[in-house]
Every structure is written in structure tokens, then in C-alpha cells.
């Protein structure tokens, strides 16, 4: 049987003694705390030297490894040097290997667990590699080292790895001259709660570091927190549960005794793990990185994730606004406005601060089975008021909405209707907000193209040999991506937008991306409407007179993405042979309840709202679709995620009415009559 002992500078109240089995070898494990008495630690190391297979140093780090720098502590080195026959290890190699592996595993097991979170490290100098691994997930970092190690809350707290390295360079050479027990806050036998770091613990969403430090400094209220640590006892884990911790990540699966039952101490510290590796490998020295990696692979050590309390349902927020003045009176709080002059109401409503409308419930991913909750907010501004004011007017209200959403628990906010196109299309709002922001335009593009495809197939009665597509508003954020993807699909597109220089740039981009595609650019659509099988309108026009409906090709499809719509119902009535459909709406999975009339059928939402909910389902609480240049890869990712989580394209609608087979048959009949009247050739389709 192998025997290891951990001599810890910490409290003897946490001592343990058990036997376990690792790779078929029995290992006896003992921890002895010395309550901060360095002389006692040295005495015990001398006593166990030659009597055990490996000695671990708990709470004693002979050499701090911070970035590329190394900072020796002479007293700790002297204590470790008391052994001459038994190898002495401090867990440094385990911290540099296993802990990084644990972070990667936990992130895969619980998507979003570290992504853009507020992360507190109780000691960065003790766990630099753990911090480096977690920093890759884009969160905010805080290091409690000045409080935990030297008890000075007045010192600035490092907020990045670079600041931590600077802190280490300025403090560790000095503290190396002090007794080590002053660096170790639980070494003095003081078991009471130390409140000096309470503000940092309240701030954090994730707390990472030695459990001894967490036990000493964490406040009673830990509701909603995630803890990443090493060696809590079963009683301490139950205490964390009672205090509201949601997720506990430990460095290994729990150890078991010889009979397979859980060991009295299922989790152990890094020095104990490294001592186990040293004892079993029988090299007589501290193992290197390669040996530890092989050992981790052989044992299957890795993240052990325990859900101590139900995880809060991921929350998102979505901002809407009235598309016309009459809708303001639909809110019970403003019904009285129907008795006032509409223009007065519209101007006054623009100054209303963001308002809470309702909670969105019942959206449930088919991939994970988890429900996501939403918050519906509104501005009072109509599109006309947004367009007549500088973008900063709307920015201020959206930034305020984002802060309001964050306080209500949202981690991402979607911009609906005109809020997604004002100014720089969400970039400024994202820069000034602490939660993720998305315009929803990636899923809008994916859903629009899918709806357009279905509509064309219906009107053509099969797969047409040739389709010419026209995009009006082609140089806008949605229009440009639609045009680029359509060129790849049909290889014949007409680009319409008011500014020739932008049209030319887009035309050249498409011709470069899709060699052989036919691309026509123009500032007015009339000359090309009679040849277009599909017209997608994506403008921000408020007049609704974007296209001359009378010039459309018989049997054409118009997919109207704009809100307010570009095509008016009374205009479309003049061409009953043409199919005008709304942009692709989405049926969300589960039993969605928006808590407010969003002017959509039950369970159905605009794609921009659906993208926000979909990102919450995937745990991607980050800035996603922003600005005028929508990334094609994000459109494709939205298409993939929409199928992964069970979203469905809603049935096609035309001016609020579902498109039926009878409607399509009648439009096709009228289109054929119009062709004959105009002496045009019949359509050719593949069956």
C-alpha cells in the first residue's frame, strides 16, 4: 500500500485520514493541519521523511508561478527541504495541468458556465493557471489577493491577468521576507468569518480558488453562485447548498474507499493529488508535466460538476416599440391617449422611459429540455419619431433598457423593429451595456430566405429551372446578406438601393464570392420588376411605396421584411396573382406565453425576438448580431441552432392571413391568365 501525507499550514479542524484505490493501487491518505505553526510543519516533514511515499505541502507554496515569472519564498523552501528521502510536492504541476482540463470539461458539460461571467479568484498567485484558463471565456475578472493574503482592502484589486502579474512583481519579493503564515489567511487557527472581501463575493457570479479561502471569506448568502474549488467536505458541500450555491465544480470525481463506498473525504487538495501521482509512479521525485498528463488520462480525473440547487432559467430581454401611434393606446396604462390628438401623443410618447410589459414564459428547447424566460420591454417611440431624431436619442433609451433588463436578471437583450436599424445598428448600445446585445438580424435573414424559398416553390408548382431574385434595400444590413446568399442559390440577382457607390461595392463583393453569378445593380427597381420571380424588400421606408406593384411579373413572390411593411394591403389587392408574404416568422418550441399581444399568432414570434431566445437556449450570452455587416457564418449558425433547439418556420402569412393551398391555386390561375393576356411564355418548372 502506498502512503502519502499532506502537511498543511491550515487548520487542524479539517484533518482527515482514509484509504482509497487508484489505478488498482491502494493508497492511504492523511492530512495534518498545523494551525499556522511553520516550525510544527517542518517537524512533521522530518518525522514522516522516509516513512511515507510522498509528502504534500498544503497551503505552502515554495515557489509562486505567476505567468512566466517565478517568486521563491525562502521559509516555504526551507520547510520543504526538511525531507531528504521522501519527495515533497506542492501541487504546482497539478494546478498547471488538471485545473485547466477541469475548466475545459466544465465548460463543455454546462455551456455558458464561465462565458462572460463575473469571476472572483480568491488568490490569483496561488491559481494563476486556473485564472488563465477561465479568462479565455471573456468574463470580468477580480483577484482578492490584496485582501486574502496581506489583509489590505485599500489596495487596488487586480482586474486582469496583466494586473495580477504586476501585483505579483511588486508584492511577492517583499512578502518573501515575511513569515509564510502571514500569507495564509487560515493559518492562524481563526475559524470565524472575515468580512473584508464581502463586496467582491457579492459582485461575483463565479468564485474560484482554494476552499479554505472561500470558507474563510465567503458571506452567508451565496445564492445563484457557481464555485470552482478543490476539497470541500460532505458537510461543507451541504452548507454550500443551504447557502444557495447553484453549481459546485471540483477538480476530480469523488474518491471511494476500498469497499467502493464514498470516502470520508471524497475531494482533496492539489498537493494531495500530486502526492498520489508521485507515490504511484515511484520515480522518487516530483512528476513532470508529461507524467501528470498521462496519469490524468489513465485515471479519468477531471471536472466533477454538482448541481446543488436548481439553476436559474436563462433570461433574455427583448425591446419592442409601437409601429404606429394607435398602438400606444393598446397598453392599459395609456388608454386615455386615444382621446388626444395622435400627433401630440406620438411626440410625447417618444420621451417615455423604457417600460416593462410582461414576462415571456414557456419557451423550452427540445435539445436540452430547459426552459428560458424572457422579459418584454418597450419604448414609446414610433418609427417616425426615431427617424426624425438623432440616433443618440434612441441610444440613451436602449442603454437604459439594457440596464433595466440586467437588474431583472436578463443576460442578453434583443433589439426589435426600428431599434435594430437606428444609427450603428446596436454597436453603441452594446458598448455601453453589461449584457449581450443582438439585433436579431442573423436569424431574420435565415428565416426570410427560407420563407422566400417556400413561397417561390409554391407559386412555381415545383422547382423552377431559373429564378431571378431582386433585393430592394440591398446595401442595408439584412439586404446585403440576403443578396449574397441568394446569389449563391439562384446565381441571378438584381440589387436595388439609393447609393450607387454602395451598390457597386456590393456587386463586386458578390461577383468575387460567387464567380459566374449574374449581378445587376440599379438605384430604381421599375425596369427590372417585370423579370423578377422573387422580390425581397428590406428598406426602412415609412411611405410604403417602395415598389410599383403593377409592374411585377405575373406570379411573382414578394417577401416583405420591413417593419412597418413596405407593401400595403390595398396596393397588393390590385395584383391578386402576386403572393406577398411576411418575412419568416418563427414558431418557438414549448408553450410560449408572451404575456402581451405582440400581434402574432399563438407561439409565433418575429425572427429578431426568436434569435434572442435562441441565443439564451444555447447559452450564448454575448453580443451577437450587431452593425451593418452581418456575418454569413452567423446566419448559417442561426440556421443550425434553430433546428437544434426545435424552432420551426411558421406557416406563410400574407397580411396576417395564413397562405392556403386554395389561395396558391387561385393566384397561380390568375398569374397564368395574366401571362396569356400579356402574351408571355408559360412558366417552366421541374417536377
Same domain, 385 and 321: yes
**399, three cell numbers:** 442603454
Cα–Cα dist 617/363, whole Å: 9
> Is residue 267 scored above 80 in pLDDT?
yes
Same domain, 660 and 635: no
**Tell me: the pLDDT tens digits for 70-117?**
999 999 999 999 999 999 999 999 999 999 999 999 998 887 688 767
Same domain, 680 and 631: no
Identify the pLDDT of residue 189.
Answer: 45
Same domain, 245 and 156: yes
| Span of 312-326, 427-441, 607-621 with lowest mean pLDDT | 312-326
Q: Where are the alpha helices (DSSP H) in 466-575?
A: 477-490, 500-513, 526-529, 569-572
Same domain, 137 and 285: yes
Q: Going by DSSP bridges, is the β-strand pair 355-364/371-378 parallel, antiparallel, or unpaired?
A: antiparallel
SS3 label, residue 612: helix
Q: How far is CA 130 from CA 16, 93, 335, 389, 447, in A?
A: 26, 12, 56, 49, 41
**327, three cell numbers:** 398602438
> Is residue 528 scored above 90 in pLDDT?
yes
User: Rounded to a whole number, what is the largest CA-CA distance in the chain?
Assistant: 107
Say if CB 291 and CB 283 are below 8 A apart: yes
Q: Where are the alpha helices (DSSP H) in 408-555?
A: 427-431, 441-460, 477-490, 500-513, 526-529
User: CB neighbours (10 Å) of residue 287?
Assistant: 22
Q: In this structure, is the dihedral angle defined by the CA atoms of residues 66, 71, 72 and 76, taken in order, positive or negative?
A: negative
Say if CB 149 and CB 185 are below 8 A apart: yes
Which CATH number belongs to the domain containing residue 533 in this structure? 3.40.50.720
Cα–Cα dist 415/608, whole Å: 7
SS3 label, residue 220: coil
Say if CB 108 and CB 137 are below 8 A apart: no
User: CB neighbours (10 Å) of residue 282?
Assistant: 9
Say if CB 585 and CB 609 are below 8 A apart: no
Q: How many residues does the chain have?
A: 687
**613, three cell numbers:** 431566445
Same domain, 302 and 322: no
Same domain, 411 and 319: yes
Domain span at 541: 457-586+652-686
Cα–Cα dist 563/541, whole Å: 9
Domain boundary among 278, 306, 334: 306
Per the prediction, the chain carries an average pLDDT of 89
SS3 label, residue 71: strand
| pLDDT band at residue 10 under the 50/70/90 scheme | confident
**289, three cell numbers:** 508535466
Structural domain count, the chain:
4
Scanning the structure block, which residue is given the C-alpha cell 423550452?
Answer: 364
**Tell me: the pLDDT tens digits for 445-461?**
999 999 999 999 999 88
Residue 67 lies in a domain: yes
Q: Where are the alpha helices (DSSP H) in 179-310?
A: 198-203, 211-217, 234-242, 270-281, 289-299
Q: How far is CA 81 from CA 41, 43, 45, 76, 284, in A?
A: 11, 11, 9, 9, 15
Identify the pLDDT of residue 260.
Answer: 79
Residue 430 lies in a domain: yes
Average pLDDT, stretch 19-26? 92
Same domain, 172 and 283: yes
Say if CB 245 and CB 225 are below 8 A apart: yes
Identify the pLDDT of residue 541.
Answer: 62
Residue 370 lies in a domain: yes
User: CB neighbours (10 Å) of residue 152?
Assistant: 11
Q: DSSP letter for 669, please.
A: H
Residue 448 lies in a domain: no
Domain boundary among 89, 115, 142: 89
Q: Where are the alpha helices (DSSP H) in 231-283?
A: 234-242, 270-281
Strands (E) in 36-94, as ranges, are: 54-58, 63-66, 69-72, 88-89
Say if CB 157 and CB 146 are below 8 A apart: yes
Q: Which residues pair with 316 in a beta bridge?
A: 374
Same domain, 173 and 247: yes
Cα–Cα dist 115/112, whole Å: 5
SS3 label, residue 1: coil
**426, three cell numbers:** 446596436
Same domain, 105 and 219: yes
SS3 label, residue 145: helix
Residue 449 lies in a domain: no
Identify the pLDDT of residue 163.
Answer: 96
Domain boundary among 272, 289, 306: 306
**Tell me: the pLDDT tens digits for 387-398?**
889 999 999 999
Residue 452 lies in a domain: no
| Span of 133-137, 348-352, 386-390, 541-545 with lowest mean pLDDT | 541-545
Residue 450 lies in a domain: no
> Is residue 670 scored above 80 in pLDDT?
yes
Cα–Cα dist 104/114, whole Å: 10
Same domain, 98 and 246: yes
Helix (H) or strand (E) holding 135: helix 128-135
Cα–Cα dist 606/417, whole Å: 9
**535, three cell numbers:** 422580390
> Is residue 331 scored above 80 in pLDDT?
no
Average pLDDT, stretch 602-619? 93
Identify the pLDDT of residue 188.
Answer: 46
Same domain, 196 and 261: yes
Cβ neighbors of 678 (< 8 A, separation 6 or more) are 554
Cα–Cα dist 42/7, whole Å: 9
> Is residue 283 scored above 70 in pLDDT?
yes
**Environment class of 201 (CB within 10 Å of its CB; exposed 0-12, middle 13-18, buried 19+):** buried
Identify the pLDDT of residue 269.
Answer: 93
| pLDDT band at residue 191 under the 50/70/90 scheme | low
Cβ neighbors of 128 (< 8 A, separation 6 or more) are 65, 66, 67, 95, 161, 164
Cα–Cα dist 381/350, whole Å: 4
Cα–Cα dist 480/494, whole Å: 11
| Span of 53-67, 108-122, 572-586, 613-627 with lowest mean pLDDT | 108-122
* Degrees to nearest 5, angle at CA 554 with 550 and 557: 90
User: CB neighbours (10 Å) of residue 511?
Assistant: 14
Pick from 107, 106, 124, 105: nearest CA to 115 = 107
Query: Over pLDDT 90: what percentage of the chain?
Result: 63
Cα–Cα dist 621/612, whole Å: 9
Say if CB 596 and CB 358 are below 8 A apart: yes
Residue 451 lies in a domain: no
**Tell me: the pLDDT tens digits for 476-513?**
888 899 999 999 999 999 999 999 999 999 999 999 99
Amino acid at each position: 500500500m502506498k502512503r502519502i501525507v499532506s502537511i498543511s499550514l491550515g487548520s487542524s479542524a479539517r484533518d482527515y485520514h482514509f484509504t482509497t484505490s487508484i489505478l488498482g493501487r491502494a493508497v492511504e491518505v492523511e492530512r495534518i493541519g498545523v494551525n499556522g505553526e511553520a516550525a510544527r510543519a517542518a517537524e512533521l516533514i522530518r518525522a514522516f521523511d522516509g516513512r511515507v511515499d510522498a509528502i504534500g505541502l498544503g497551503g505552502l507554496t515554495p515557489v509562486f508561478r505567476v505567468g512566466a515569472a517565478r517568486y521563491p519564498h525562502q521559509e516555504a523552501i526551507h520547510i520543504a527541504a526538511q525531507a531528504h528521502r521522501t519527495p515533497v510536492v506542492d501541487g504546482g504541476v497539478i494546478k498547471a495541468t488538471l485545473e485547466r482540463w477541469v475548466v475545459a470539461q466544465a465548460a463543455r458539460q454546462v455551456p455558458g458556465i464561465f462565458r462572460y461571467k463575473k469571476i472572483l479568484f480568491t488568490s490569483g498567485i496561488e491559481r494563476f493557471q486556473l485564472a488563465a484558463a477561465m479568462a479565455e471565456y471573456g468574463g470580468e475578472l477580480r483577484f482578492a489577493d490584496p485582501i486574502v493574503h496581506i489583509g489590505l482592502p485599500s489596495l487596488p484589486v487586480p482586474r486582469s491577468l496583466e494586473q495580477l502579474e504586476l501585483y505579483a512583481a511588486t508584492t511577492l519579493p517583499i512578502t518573501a521576507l515575511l513569515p509564510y503564515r502571514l500569507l495564509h489567511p487560515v493559518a492562524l487557527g481563526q475559524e470565524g468569518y472575515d468580512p473584508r472581501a464581502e463586496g467582491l463575493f457579492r459582485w461575483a457570479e463565479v468564485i474560484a480558488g482554494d476552499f479554505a479561502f472561500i470558507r474563510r471569506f465567503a458571506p452567508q448568502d451565496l445564492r445563484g453562485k457557481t464555485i470552482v474549488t478543490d476539497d470541500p467536505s460532505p458537510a461543507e458541500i451541504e452548507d454550500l447548498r443551504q447557502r444557495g450555491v447553484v453549481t459546485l465544480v471540483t477538480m476530480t470525481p469523488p474518491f471511494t474507499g476500498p469497499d467502493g463506498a464514498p470516502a470520508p473525504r471524497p475531494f482533496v487538495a492539489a498537493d494531495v493529488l500530486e502526492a498520489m501521482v508521485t507515490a504511484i509512479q515511484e520515480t522518487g521525485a516530483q512528476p513532470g508535466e508529461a507524467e501528470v498528463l498521462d496519469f490524468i488520462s489513465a485515471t479519468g480525473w477531471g471536472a466533477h460538476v454538482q448541481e446543488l440547487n436548481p439553476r436559474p432559467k436563462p433570461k433574455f430581454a427583448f425591446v419592442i416599440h409601437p409601429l404606429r401611434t394607435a398602438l400606444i393606446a393598446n397598453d392599459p396604462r395609456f388608454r386615455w391617449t386615444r382621446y388626444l390628438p395622435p400627433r401630440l401623443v406620438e411626440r410625447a410618447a417618444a420621451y417615455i422611459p423604457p417600460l416593462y410589459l410582461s414576462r415571456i414564459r414557456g419557451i423550452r428547447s427540445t435539445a436540452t429540455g430547459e426552459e428560458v424566460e424572457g422579459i418584454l420591454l418597450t419604448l414609446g417611440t414610433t418609427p417616425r419619431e426615431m427617424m426624425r431624431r438623432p440616433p443618440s436619442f434612441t441610444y440613451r433609451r436602449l442603454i437604459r433598457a439594457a440596464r433595466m433588463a440586467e437588474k431583472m436578471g436578463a443576460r442578453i437583450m434583443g433589439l426589435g423593429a426600428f431599434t435594430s436599424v437606428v444609427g450603428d445598428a446596436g454597436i453603441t448600445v452594446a458598448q455601453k451595456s453589461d449584457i449581450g446585445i443582438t439585433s436579431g438580424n442573423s436569424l431574420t435573414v435565415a428565416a426570410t430566405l427560407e420563407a422566400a424559398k417556400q413561397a417561390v416553390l409554391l407559386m412555381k408548382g415545383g422547382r423552377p429551372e431559373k429564378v431571378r431574385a431582386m433585393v430592394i434595400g440591398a446595401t442595408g444590413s439584412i439586404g446585403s446578406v440576403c443578396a449574397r446568399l441568394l446569389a449563391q442559390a439562384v446565381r441571378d440577382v438584381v440589387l436595388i438601393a439609393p447609393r450607387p457607390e454602395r451598390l457597386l461595392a456590393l456587386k463586386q463583393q458578390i461577383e468575387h464570392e460567387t464567380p459566374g453569378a449574374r449581378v445587376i445593380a440599379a438605384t430604381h427597381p421599375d425596369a427590372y420588376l417585370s423579370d423578377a420571380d422573387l422580390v425581397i424588400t428590406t428598406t426602412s421606408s415609412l411611405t410604403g411605396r417602395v415598389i410599383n406593384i403593377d409592374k411585377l411579373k405575373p406570379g411573382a413572390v414578394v417577401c416583405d421584411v420591413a417593419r412597418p411593411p413596405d407593401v400595403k394591403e390595398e396596393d397588393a389587392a390590385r395584383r391578386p396573382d402576386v403572393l406577398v408574404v411576411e418575412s419568416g416568422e418563427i414558431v418557438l418550441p414549448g408553450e410560449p406565453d408572451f404575456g402581451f399581444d405582440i400581434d402574432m399568432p399563438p407561439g409565433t414570434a418575429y425572427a429578431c425576438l426568436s434569435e434572442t431566445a435562441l441565443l439564451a437556449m444555447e447559452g450564448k450570452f454575448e453580443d451577437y448580431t450587431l452593425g451593418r455587416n452581418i456575418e454569413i457564418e452567423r446566419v448559417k449558425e442561426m440556421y443550425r441552432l434553430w433546428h437544434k433547439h426545435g424552432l420551426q418556420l411558421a406557416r406563410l402569412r400574407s397580411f396576417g392571413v395564413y397562405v392556403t393551398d386554395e389561395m396558391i391555386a387561385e393566384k397561380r390561375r390568375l398569374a397564368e391568365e395574366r401571362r396569356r393576356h400579356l402574351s408571355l411564355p408559360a412558366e417552366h418548372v421541374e417536377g
